[in-house]
Amino acid sequence: MDYKAAFRTAVEQVRSEGRYRVFADLKRHRGAFPRATWTRDDGSSKDIIVWCSNDYLGQGQNPVVLDAMHAAIDANGSGSGGTRNISGTTHHHVELERELADLHGKDAALLFTSGYVANEATLSILYKVLPGLIVFSDELNHASMIAGIRNGGGARHIFRHNDLEHLESLLIDAPADAPKLIAFESVYSMDGDIADLAGTVALAKKYNAITYLDEVHAVGLYGQRGAGVAERDGVMNDIDIIEGTLGKAFGVMGGYIAGDIEMVDAIRSFASGFIFTTSLPPALTAGAAASVRWLKQHPEVRDIHQERAETLKQMFRDAGLPVMPSVSHIVPVMVGDPVHCKMVSDMLLEDHGIYVQPINYPTVPRGTERLRFTPTPFHTDEMMRDLVRAMEKLWAHCNIARLGGVAA
């Protein structure tokens, strides 16, 4: 076996489809978000505006968060030193879990090292905790939920995206006495659409199922205290398991679930991805707790955030650019071809100092490649005008290329 050749061949396949991933090497500057400096492969650099960060509110630069992290390092040192069970639980972990349980109006919360791990670890172990479990999963659920459901190895049914009629038809067909779980997201982050939470909860009650809601792209951003769409829609008490991240709107890192004490205690006791890994460093948990606490008290930041997203969508629409019909803070613009998508992204960065990563398969279905903009409260009208001007120019350029048959 020529191992090197096998690795190269695998990557060549990706490259030939135009979806080889190139990471942008960025230097960020404290307090200057969303500005950063991009370093090219040859070592030269360029100042750019970041338009695709999931630090949706710039909390990663909030002095309240940074001060809490500095103080925790000074007080505790760096790493946690162990798994949660073996010396890796600091007071900061305990406080953060309380803060998160309070945020979601639940008995308890449980921390994981990331949102990915929270989904994978929880969903996979639920099959063991609830023998005979049948999971009903939205077809556009995140890779981490799919991984958890697959690794759990039990029965699963995929329902068409946000299609409650299809979901109900699958629930009707399942044995009435089998334990059932509906797994879905609130904000779907690539299209920017939002699930019908009340409708899903009603179906769960009708068929005696429990609900598992990924609010990763909503925590910090929706609801009076930033608990997510379930808070905004008044159904927080009806969601059995809420899963979130500390790495996006909260600006730090980590993941969690929140729910009844019995459920959380079971996951704590059985989930491999919780038990057998070093816990988050105290500085991260202290920073996350400060961020959650601060955002509970600052709903006005959420209003500004929504206004910024609406403004950018309107500016794209006015310019005739194909902005997708998002009802959230996500502003996706359809390109529909991976090569084209990468080319537009490269030109925005090199020629205009605008950084937006191309979104390609398998993150989105083939043929729906897009640019995904995430304006924050720190993106000004002037930055938006520069962006729209650059996009108009490139769209004209690319249309000419397409008419000439180059990119078709």
Query: What number of other Cβ atoms are within 10 A of residue 381's Cβ?
Result: 11
The strand pair at 354-355 and 45-50 is best described as: parallel
Do 52 and 329 touch, CB atoms closer than 8 A? no
Q: How far is the CB of 219 from ligand PLP (least distance, A)?
A: 10
User: The dihedral of CA 70, 75, 80, 85: what is its sign?
Assistant: negative
Q: In what order do the strands lie in the sheet with 370-373?
A: 331-334, 370-373, 358-359
Among candidate residues 106, 180, 248, 342, the one labeled active-site is 248
What is the contact mask toward ligand PLP in residues 178 to 217, using x (rule: CB under 6 A)?
-------x---x------------------------x-xx
* Closer CB to ligand PLP, 258 or 384, in the complex: 258
Distances (CA, A) of 385 to 151, 266, 389, 390, 391: 46, 51, 6, 9, 10
Per CB under 6 A, does 247 bind ligand PLP? yes
* Closer CB to ligand PLP, 184 or 207, in the complex: 184
Per CB under 6 A, does 274 bind ligand PLP? no
Per CB under 6 A, does 115 bind ligand PLP? yes
Contacts of ligand PLP in 146-165 (CB under 6 A)? none
Per CB under 6 A, does 287 bind ligand PLP? no
Q: Which two tokens stand for residue 270?
A: 């059985």
Q: How far is the CB of 53 from ligand PLP (least distance, A)?
A: 12
Per CB under 6 A, does 250 bind ligand PLP? no
Q: Which stretch binds ligand PLP (CB under 6 A): 42-50, 87-95, 109-117, 285-293?
A: 109-117
Identify the residue among 80, 89, 90, 114 touching ligand PLP (CB under 6 A): 114
> Looking at this protein, which amino acid is placed at residue 275?
I
248 is catalytic: yes
Per CB under 6 A, does 89 bind ligand PLP? no
Q: How far is the CB of 258 from ligand PLP (least distance, A)?
A: 15
Per CB under 6 A, does 326 bind ligand PLP? no
Per CB under 6 A, does 218 bind ligand PLP? no
**How many binding residues for ligand PLP (CB under 6 A)?**
14
* Closer CB to ligand PLP, 188 or 378, in the complex: 188
DSSP 25-55: EEEE-TT-TTEEEEE-TTS-EEEEEE---S-
**Phi and psi angles of residue 55, each rounded to the nearest 5 degrees, phi first:** -80, 70
Residues listed for the chain: 408
Residues 6 or more apart whose CB falls under 8 angstroms from that of 161 comprise 138, 139, 140, 188
Position with the least CB separation from ligand PLP: 115
Residues 6 or more apart whose CB falls under 8 angstroms from that of 405 comprise none
* Closer CB to ligand PLP, 93 or 340, in the complex: 93
* Closer CB to ligand PLP, 189 or 279, in the complex: 189
C-alpha angle 254/154/177, rounded to 5°? 110
* Closer CB to ligand PLP, 232 or 340, in the complex: 232
Q: How far is the CB of 291 from ligand PLP (least distance, A)?
A: 14
Per CB under 6 A, does 119 bind ligand PLP? yes
Per CB under 6 A, does 116 bind ligand PLP? yes
Buried b (16+ CB within 10 A) or exposed e, 211-229: bbbbbbbbbbbbbebbbbb
* Closer CB to ligand PLP, 110 or 315, in the complex: 110
Q: What's the burial of 196, exposed, middle or buried (CB within 10 Å: 0-12/13-18/19+)?
A: middle
Q: Using CB under 6 A as the criterion, which residues of the chain lie in contact with ligand PLP when the complex forms?
A: 114-116, 119, 142, 144, 185, 189, 214, 216-217, 245, 247, 255
Q: Which residues are catalytic?
A: 248
